[in-house]
Amino acid sequence: MHGLSKNANASYNVAKSKSSKAYVLPEYAFVPPPEIKSGEVKKYPVVIVGAGLSGLTLACKLAHLGVPAVLLDEDNTVGVKGASSRGICYTQQSLEIFARLGIYERIAAKGVAWQIGRTFAGDDEVFSFDLRERSHFSSSCQPPFINIQQFYIEMYLIERIVELNQQTPLIDLRWCNKVSGFLQNEEEATLQVQTPAGNYSLQASHVIDASGSHTPFHDWVGASMDSKRGDDRWCIADVRFKHTPPTERHTWIEAPFNDNRAVWQHLMGDDVWRIDYQMAPDADPAYVSREDVVRERLAKQFGAEVECDIVWVGPYAYKSQCLHRLHHGRVFFMGDTAKVVSPFGARGGNTGIADADNLAWKLASVLRGQAAPVLLNSYNQERLQAAQRNVQVTNRTARFLRAPDGMERVFRAASIGLAKEHAFAKSLINTGRMAEANRYDMSDVCDADGGFMVQNAVIHYNAEQSGSLCDLLQWANGRLLLLVFGELSRKDMAKLQSLSTLAAVNVVQVVHKKRAQATEHVIDPHKTLRRACHAEKAQWALLRPDAYLAAKGKSLNGQLVKALATALGLH
């Protein structure tokens, strides 16, 4: 495959040394595409534009599902050259997706897991949480969050794609390939591409744009959007301390060491701390990110004797943006091309990862002939709901952190004052509602009881061997997964066997004790999986390849057949 001549192990050298003061990102080899030499315009089932979080997640998932794709990126590295750690907080949903892709263990080994957060106003703690105490996070094998620099995630995805290509070459990674033109019709899309070795064209049945918020595809397809730019200013400092602070996630809504403005403090991989300082709206970006100014800020926070290396410093401002539609003809938008959110609650990169997981199985099902093409319409329906919700939630946080004059500022001041004294007011403090898997309240391919992600609960195969829901989803390999709870009659067993041969579904029986039946079964001794499916009173639960519940029911009747057809867009 093209673009795979780079040694996959080279990425482990990035920021490995604790004595290093700066990030050093790997570079991947440019290989001239075959179209330049042949002059032929080839057609591919899927072309992905942009090798960031969402584009690489999609490519990796398609490789797992046996779908060939070309991935074009105008750069030749991960992240952004010379830039910061960028996204750092990865949600339980993303970690479960990465577990199914085969890179979770690498992330867990490099990153920092956490579940407790504390928020302060001055010296007073005004809000705290333990995410493991919340039902949305309590049943999974993965922790609520892991902090790790974004470029590591991207490198691990590339490594995994290389590993999968060594088994079956499916993903063509093309570095230094910039899309410069685009046309589409009812049959295909045509892309013009610029490279160091010359220009060429290629065609695609489906184009997925994951190239970022400044993509030209918005103009090329006539996409419309809602967009708003705030005047809030921040300065990031990635710092390695000689004597490290406590590893909990701390935020200050009013930090006395930062002119009573907000501060975020997170530990990431390689013992590097991400500290975000809210600046004055009229702050000069060049001045606030000077190293001597940052050191003065650090000394105010940690004391004049603080010893540290500054790994990276940079200013940023944020905006919110959301397309009105995520699907235009043969083009799908995901990640930052679909929406841009304020950086509160880890709702940016994580939703791009979920975009990719949502679209990947649908593309694979349609291309395999297991689902109707109309299934692809549900990507826009479901992920647009998620995008709009995340924009709304993060905009509320932004307004709380820098409340405008009037009632909002009065409300903020009152909330902080009350939270210092009264427990009931602590939930009013809004420094970012932590991201969790979005529910699809409106979906043509889920019934009224479905549309939520099922956590990666532990299961058992026998007394000695355990696994998880992710194992079952991997076993299903892009097909629907039907969990049938409890005992089965001979008649029911015959029904299920016939269903598995007729529909794109894998069937597994879930029992509470070991059984000698010949059917495929797993043991759920504490009913953790059944509760995760909200199926305590149901006989079966139908799960999609992205771990979302499509439907559940009390008997193996026509309702199940209808649910199978609906989930595949065959209704």
Pairing mode, if any, of strands 549-553 and 540-543? antiparallel
Asked if residues 541 and 533 have their Cβ atoms less than 8 Å apart, the reply is yes
> Quick one: pLDDT at residue 515?
60
Please state, in angstroms and as integers, the Cα–Cα distance from residue 142 to each residue in 29, 355, 456, following that order: 34, 20, 7
> Quick one: pLDDT at residue 218?
97
Asked if residues 327 and 28 have their Cβ atoms less than 8 Å apart, the reply is no
Reduce the DSSP state of residue 273 to 3 states and report it.
strand
Beta-sheet strand order (sheet of 112-114): 89-91, 145-147, 112-114
How many whole angstroms separate alpha carbon 249 and alpha carbon 165?
A: 38
Q: How far is CA 333 from the centre of its chain?
A: 14
Tokens 């991997």, residue located: 474
> Quick one: pLDDT at residue 555?
84
How many whole angstroms separate alpha carbon 458 and alpha carbon 415?
A: 40
Q: Return the bridge partners of 329, or none.
A: none
State both tokens at 137.
Answer: 């996070």
Reduce the DSSP state of residue 514 to 3 states and report it.
coil
> Quick one: pLDDT at residue 23?
76
> Quick one: pLDDT at residue 559?
87
Please state, in angstroms and as integers, the Cα–Cα distance from residue 457 to each residue in 213, 478, 499, 544, following that order: 35, 19, 25, 15
The phi and psi torsions of 24 (rounded to 5 degrees) equal -120, 115
Asked if residues 331 and 189 have their Cβ atoms less than 8 Å apart, the reply is yes
The pTM of this model reads 0.92
Asked if residues 436 and 93 have their Cβ atoms less than 8 Å apart, the reply is yes
Burial (CB < 10 A; 0-12, 13-18, 19+), residue 404, is exposed
Asked if residues 46 and 67 have their Cβ atoms less than 8 Å apart, the reply is yes
How many whole angstroms separate alpha carbon 207 and alpha carbon 153?
A: 23
* Other beta carbons less than 10 A from residue 241's beta carbon: 16
How many whole angstroms separate alpha carbon 74 and alpha carbon 544?
A: 33
How many whole angstroms separate alpha carbon 40 and alpha carbon 34?
A: 8
Amino acid at 213: S
**First-residue to last-residue Cα distance in the chain:** 39
**Chunked in runs of 10, what are the mean pLDDT values of the chain (571 residues)?**
36 38 84 95 97 97 98 90 75 96 97 89 88 80 92 96 96 98 96 97 98 95 89 87 80 93 91 92 90 94 91 84 96 95 84 97 96 96 94 85 86 90 88 85 91 95 88 95 87 76 84 66 92 93 97 88 91 70
> Quick one: pLDDT at residue 546?
97
Q: How far is CA 456 from the centre of its chain?
A: 16
